[in-house]
């Protein structure tokens, strides 16, 4: 069919309109050369669009000079359909630039930043905006390698409605830099962003947001952090680390995030109208106060369990004539009209020690409402607090409060408001606590609406259940075919596993018949290898190492030998493990440096004849505050004839940025544990730098001693109701442990 000229023109117009679904139209570039050409020629008001598809190894430099009324825009053909992967990143420099619609995933930045508001240290971006950009798990695979996802430089920039989730390697998620004059007094706005899950890093350097550094902390920043949503931002004790002056933190929500908004350095900051929901998750905290002329008002904090530096409210002691990087005294600060509900700790003069001896002064704590249903007093006072004036505060039914002056204690009735927040029914308390106008930011009003916010992946037992027989190769095939959360139900019988079972997703192996335990032996140097993303739950099984090769250093379970970004879990229940002894140093669990367990649980299990150690978590020996596991729990179990230690947990360094490790040993029998000459620790249980140790109702027989070494923080160690038979008594270095009702017998 021949088209007439006007028909061809009309068709061309229709095609053009269809190809550019959003306005302003702008030029769609198809490759990196076209992009560079388009940006080079861009004039104020121009729009450059990246074509739909995946752009690999694209280091975007977006340099231009727009105007206030006519910025230059870099965006995408269609939002959600343009992916930057591999070794990609973005630098913007110039002024009046706008970037939107990019998605960074499936790779990591080759430089120190994914998005930098500068080309180099002299060429910065000003009056520019990055909005509706996604960075999703764009992580260097080496967890201790440092990079920053977003680095703000320059002045008057805005970072808003972005989605940043799944940062797992070391380095701040978003940092505001004040290194040079051109980035100070910057008046940046950081608003309506969604900060999703950041798992525990197990070391310092896991902050979600940092403004400044100690070095420039007496410089004013004038940055506003407003209406952002922080969900499970668990990297370290500082969710936000403020290290500059005159910043505002307003209207943000912190949901189940471990740690606190910390006013670490710098003066004259304002923290108001924020909402913290801990939902009683461990180590969830609120606000930590240090320095001068800080204001903390009209915040709502509920269900926070954190203590010490992660309490609902923490007022620190300072260091007299503090160096710039230590702790300046709290002075001239105000804490008023905050509501604290169902939370465990408020700490005053926290961190008091020989160095931190400058107590808070000329500070006011007034009109705060503190409610715990059971009348628990949540205040802890660590030093002289006569420099804090308390007035008009109200407590719920606390009998003899630690701080009594300036507090009224009475029975309060609370009522849930349409906003979801609780307030007293009694009108006479209308001026106490957070105001009735305080609202909770909706998660859906943050980030972007075209990219899903994360759910937290399948846990154990959430997938399909598959029956497995003892037939040759059946278990190996079933493990290889298993999906995340799947359960393999093993029929009774004797299994011989001839291959290493690699586990790259949460996987459960359990007995089909709890009264007839399957028996599993293995012919390789390990039975299971937990890879990144993997996790293992074992229930009702018997394992023997008697067919393992005659080599030293076998292990029943080992982690990947390389760095793993995802914390893993290992849960062992109702299992028997025996004859890991064909040669010396045969461990139950062998981990590698650069791996991190969120949880290791052994329950109701029996371990017999093991030449090595049961769990040895001591591979982070650089003494940088790194460690190999957060929660270790061993309960209701027996360990007989174990050559090396039952458990070694090592957390070195003096940094105070982590919560763990946590160790629990309860209702356990140790019989002849640690007596092999290769046991260099000379102990049956070694806890070095562990923050919380609970050891009770155990029996140690003919075993090497329990050894605890306190190194950093305020570790809590309780050793109670244990029996030591033909076993030396526990040794505790560093003091402060509670030893109670233990018996030592010959």
Please identify, using beta-carbon distances, which residue of 238 and 644 lies nearer to Ca ion.
238
CA distance 263 to 274: 14
Which residue in 113, 160, 231, 238 binds Ca ion (CB under 5 A)?
238
Contact present, 648 and 616 (Cβ < 8 Å) = yes
Number of helices (H), then strands (E), belonging to the chain: the values are 3, 71
Question: CB of residue 171 vs Ca ion: minimum separation in angstroms?
Answer: 11
- Cross-strand pairs, 601: 571, 633
Q: How many residues of this chain bind Ca ion (CB under 5 A)?
A: 3
Please identify, using beta-carbon distances, which residue of 160 and 238 lies nearer to Ca ion.
238
- Rounded to the nearest 5 percent, the helix, strand and coil shares of the chain are 5, 40, 50
Contact present, 348 and 360 (Cβ < 8 Å) = yes
Please identify, using beta-carbon distances, which residue of 208 and 581 lies nearer to Ca ion.
208
Question: CB of residue 147 vs Ca ion: minimum separation in angstroms?
Answer: 16
Task: Count CB-CB contacts under 10 A for residue 666.
Answer: 17
Query: Tell me, what DSSP letter sits at residue 197?
Result: -
| Helix (H) or strand (E) segment spanning residue 76 | strand 72-76
Question: CB of residue 626 vs Ca ion: minimum separation in angstroms?
Answer: 13
Please identify, using beta-carbon distances, which residue of 239 and 732 lies nearer to Ca ion.
239
Six token digits for residue 404:
């009594």
Question: CB of residue 202 vs Ca ion: minimum separation in angstroms?
Answer: 13
Of 259, 144, 258, 149, the C-alpha closest to 203 is 144
Of 399, 281, 391, 395, the C-alpha closest to 346 is 395
Question: CB of residue 235 vs Ca ion: minimum separation in angstroms?
Answer: 9
Question: CB of residue 230 vs Ca ion: minimum separation in angstroms?
Answer: 15
State yes or no: residue 657 binds Ca ion (CB under 5 A): yes
Please identify, using beta-carbon distances, which residue of 47 and 175 lies nearer to Ca ion.
175
State yes or no: residue 655 binds Ca ion (CB under 5 A): no
**Beta strand 738-740 with 716-720: parallel, antiparallel or unpaired?**
parallel
Contact present, 541 and 513 (Cβ < 8 Å) = no
Of 141, 128, 185, 219, the C-alpha closest to 150 is 128
Please identify, using beta-carbon distances, which residue of 146 and 477 lies nearer to Ca ion.
146
Six token digits for residue 68:
């206030």
CA distance 695 to 497: 36
Per CB under 5 A, which region of 65-73, 149-157, 238-246, 295-303 contacts Ca ion?
A: 238-246
Per CB under 5 A, which region of 233-241, 378-386, 533-541, 688-696 contacts Ca ion?
A: 233-241
Question: CB of residue 550 vs Ca ion: minimum separation in angstroms?
Answer: 47
Please identify, using beta-carbon distances, which residue of 265 and 307 lies nearer to Ca ion.
265
Per CB under 5 A, which region of 375-383, 462-470, 654-662, 690-698 contacts Ca ion?
A: 654-662
Please identify, using beta-carbon distances, which residue of 206 and 674 lies nearer to Ca ion.
206
- 340-352: b (≥16 Cβ within 10 Å) or e: bbbbbbbbbbbbb
State yes or no: residue 294 binds Ca ion (CB under 5 A): no
Binding to Ca ion (CB under 5 A): which residues in 200-229?
A: 204
The residue behind tokens 């008594």 is 729
CA distance 52 to 248: 38
Question: CB of residue 229 vs Ca ion: minimum separation in angstroms?
Answer: 21
Question: CB of residue 657 vs Ca ion: minimum separation in angstroms?
Answer: 4
Please identify, using beta-carbon distances, which residue of 211 and 706 lies nearer to Ca ion.
211
Please identify, using beta-carbon distances, which residue of 96 and 264 lies nearer to Ca ion.
264
Please identify, using beta-carbon distances, which residue of 273 and 291 lies nearer to Ca ion.
291
CA distance 166 to 176: 20
Six token digits for residue 349:
């003069």
Question: CB of residue 317 vs Ca ion: minimum separation in angstroms?
Answer: 18
Please identify, using beta-carbon distances, which residue of 204 and 267 lies nearer to Ca ion.
204
Please identify, using beta-carbon distances, which residue of 126 and 232 lies nearer to Ca ion.
232
Question: CB of residue 167 vs Ca ion: minimum separation in angstroms?
Answer: 14
Binding to Ca ion (CB under 5 A): which residues in 377-416?
A: none
Question: CB of residue 210 vs Ca ion: minimum separation in angstroms?
Answer: 8
Binding to Ca ion (CB under 5 A): which residues in 186-205?
A: 204
CA distance 281 to 630: 14
708, exposed or middle or buried, with CB in 10 Å at 0-12, 13-18, 19+?
A: buried
Please identify, using beta-carbon distances, which residue of 184 and 264 lies nearer to Ca ion.
264
Question: CB of residue 736 vs Ca ion: minimum separation in angstroms?
Answer: 24
Per CB under 5 A, which region of 31-39, 183-191, 656-664, 705-713 contacts Ca ion?
A: 656-664
Query: Tell me, what DSSP letter sits at residue 532?
Result: T
The backbone torsions φ and ψ at residue 465, rounded to the nearest 5 degrees and listed phi first, read -105, 125
Question: CB of residue 308 vs Ca ion: minimum separation in angstroms?
Answer: 15
Of 709, 719, 716, the C-alpha closest to 689 is 709
CA distance 109 to 169: 12
Per CB under 5 A, which region of 65-73, 83-91, 545-553, 652-660 contacts Ca ion?
A: 652-660
628 dihedral zone (left: phi>0; alpha: psi -120 to 50; beta): alpha
Contact positions toward Ca ion, by CB under 5 A?
204, 238, 657
């Amino acid at each position: 069919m021949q088209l007439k000229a006007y028909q061809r023109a009309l068709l061309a117009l229709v095609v053009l309109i269809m190809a550019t679904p959003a306005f302003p139209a702008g030029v769609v570039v198809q490759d990196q050369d076209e992009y560079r050409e388009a940006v080079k020629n861009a004039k104020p008001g121009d729009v450059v669009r990246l074509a739909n598809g995946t752009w690999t190894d694209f280091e975007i430099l977006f340099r231009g000079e727009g105007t206030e009324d006519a910025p230059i825009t870099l965006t995408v053909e269609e939002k959600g359909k343009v992916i930057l992967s591999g070794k990609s990143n973005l630098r913007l420099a110039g002024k009046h630039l706008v970037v939107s619609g990019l998605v960074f995933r499936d790779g990591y930045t080759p430089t120190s930043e994914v998005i930098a508001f500068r080309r180099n240290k002299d060429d910065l971006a000003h009056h520019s905006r990055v909005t509706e950009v996604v960075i999703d798990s764009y992580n260097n695979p080496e967890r201790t390698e440092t990079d920053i996802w977003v680095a703000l430089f320059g002045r008057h920039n805005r970072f808003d409605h972005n989605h940043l989730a799944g940062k797992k390697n070391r380095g701040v998620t978003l940092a505001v830099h004040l290194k040079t004059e051109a980035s100070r007094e910057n008046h940046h706005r950081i608003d309506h962003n969604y900060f999703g899950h950041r798992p525990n890093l197990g070391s310092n350097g896991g902050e979600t947001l940092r403004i400044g550094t100690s070095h420039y902390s007496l410089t004013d920043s004038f940055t506003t952090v407003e209406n952002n949503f922080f969900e499970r931002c668990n990297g370290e004790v500082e969710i936000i680390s403020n290290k500059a002056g005159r910043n505002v933190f307003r209207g943000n929500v912190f949901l189940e995030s471990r740690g606190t908004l910390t006013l670490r350095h710098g003066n004259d900051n304002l923290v108001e109208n924020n909402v913290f929901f801990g939902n009683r998750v461990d180590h969830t905290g609120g606000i930590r106060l240090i320095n001068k002329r800080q204001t903390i008002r009209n915040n709502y904090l509920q269900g926070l369990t954190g203590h010490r530096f992660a309490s609902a409210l923490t007022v620190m002691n300072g260091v007299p004539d503090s160096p710039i990087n230590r702790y300046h005294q709290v002075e001239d600060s105000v804490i008023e009209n905050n509501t604290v509900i169902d939370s465990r700790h408020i700490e005053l003069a926290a961190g008091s020690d020989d160095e931190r001896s400058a107590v808070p002064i000329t500070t006011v704590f007034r009109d705060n409402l503190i409610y715990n249903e059971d009348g628990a007093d949540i205040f802890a006072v660590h030093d002289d607090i006569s420099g804090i004036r308390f007035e008009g505060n109200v407590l719920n039914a606390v009998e003899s409060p630690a701080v009594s002056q300036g507090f009224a204690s009475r029975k309060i009735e609370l009522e849930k408001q349409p906003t979801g927040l609780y307030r007293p029914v009694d009108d006479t308390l209308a001026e106490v606590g957070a105001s009735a106008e305080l609202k909770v930011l909706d998660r859906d009003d943050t980030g972007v609406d075209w990219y899903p916010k994360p759910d937290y992946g399948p846990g154990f037992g959430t997938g399909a259940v598959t029956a497995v027989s003892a037939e040759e190769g059946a278990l190996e095939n079933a493990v290889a075919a298993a999906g995340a959360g799947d359960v393999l139900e093993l029929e009774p019988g004797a299994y011989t596993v001839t291959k290493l079972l690699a586990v790259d997703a949460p996987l459960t192996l359990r007995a089909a018949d709890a009264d007839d335990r399957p028996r599993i032996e293995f012919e390789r140097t390990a039975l299971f290898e937990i890879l990144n993303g993997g996790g293992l739950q074992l229930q009702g099984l018997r394992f023997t190492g008697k067919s393992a090769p005659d080599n030293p250093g076998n292990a029943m379970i080992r982690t990947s030998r390389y760095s793993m970004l995802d914390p893993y879990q290992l849960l062992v229940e109702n299992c028997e493990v025996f004859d890991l002894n064909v040669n010396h140093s045969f461990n139950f669990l062998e981990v590698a440096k650069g791996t991190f367990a969120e949880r290791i649980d052994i329950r109701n299990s029996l371990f017999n004849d093991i030449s090595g150690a049961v769990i040895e978590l001591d591979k982070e020996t650089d003494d940088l505050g790194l460690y190999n596991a957060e929660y270790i729990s061993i309960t209701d179990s027996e360990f007989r004839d174990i050559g090396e230690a039952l458990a070694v947990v090592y957390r070195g360094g003096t940094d105070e940025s982590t919560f763990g490790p946590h160790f629990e040993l309860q209702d356990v029998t140790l019989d002849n544990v640690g007596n092999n000459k290769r046991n260099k620790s000379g102990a049956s249980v070694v806890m070095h730098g562990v923050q919380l140790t609970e050891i009770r109702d155990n029996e140690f027989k003919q075993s090497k001693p329990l050894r605890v070494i306190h190194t950093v923080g305020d570790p809590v160690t309780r050793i109670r109701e244990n029996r030591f038979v033909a076993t030396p008594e526990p040794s505790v270095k560093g003091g402060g442990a509670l030893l109670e009702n233990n018996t030592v017998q010959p």
